[in-house]
């Protein structure tokens, strides 16, 4: 790979990550609401500390080998055959993505 192509690719990746839909647009107030929703309402099955309950644990270690897109799809669409319901009425896709990223990194209190 020539250095100009490398730079081009790098720029594309950086721009791509900046352009992640809505990532920069979640307000602090909305982020707070999402943290509350995950801890309290997702927490009724996954545990308030996210160590699991009727639903599986949502800790960085348990999610590490799972692709983020799949997790976002599960939040938005639910998982048929299990008690996991679809949350699309309450969460936009970029919000689900924000939640998944935070879960994989260690969820805020």
Site residues for other proteins per CB under 8 A: 39-41, 43-45, 47-49, 51-54, 78, 81, 83, 85-86, 89-90
Q: Which is nearer to other proteins, 56 or 60 (CB)?
A: 56
The CB-of-89 to other proteins minimum distance in angstroms stands at: 8
Q: Which is nearer to other proteins, 45 or 68 (CB)?
A: 45
The CB-of-49 to other proteins minimum distance in angstroms stands at: 5
Which residue is it, tokens 């009425």? Answer: 89
The CB-of-85 to other proteins minimum distance in angstroms stands at: 4
What SS3 state is found at 58?
A: coil
The CB-of-100 to other proteins minimum distance in angstroms stands at: 19
Beta carbons of 76 and 88 less than 8 angstroms apart: yes
What residue ranges in the chain does DSSP mark as E strands? none
Q: Residue 34: phi, psi to the nearest 5? A: -65, -40
Instruction: Count CB atoms within 10 A of the CB of residue 32.
Output: 11
Q: Which is nearer to other proteins, 10 or 54 (CB)?
A: 54
Beta carbons of 75 and 100 less than 8 angstroms apart: yes
Q: Which is nearer to other proteins, 43 or 97 (CB)?
A: 43
């Amino acid at each position: 790979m020539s250095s100009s192509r490398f730079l081009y690719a790098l720029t594309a990746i950086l721009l791509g990550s900046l352009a992640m839909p809505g990532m920069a647009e979640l307000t602090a107030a909305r982020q707070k609401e999402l943290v509350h929703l995950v801890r309290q309402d997702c927490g009724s099955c996954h545990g308030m500390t996210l160590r699991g309950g009727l639903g599986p644990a949502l800790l960085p270690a348990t999610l590490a080998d799972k692709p983020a897109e799949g997790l976002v799809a599960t939040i938005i669409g639910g998982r048929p055959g299990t008690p996991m319901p679809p949350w699309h009425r309450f969460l936009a896709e970029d919000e689900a993505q924000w939640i998944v990223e935070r879960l994989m990194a260690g969820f805020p209190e």
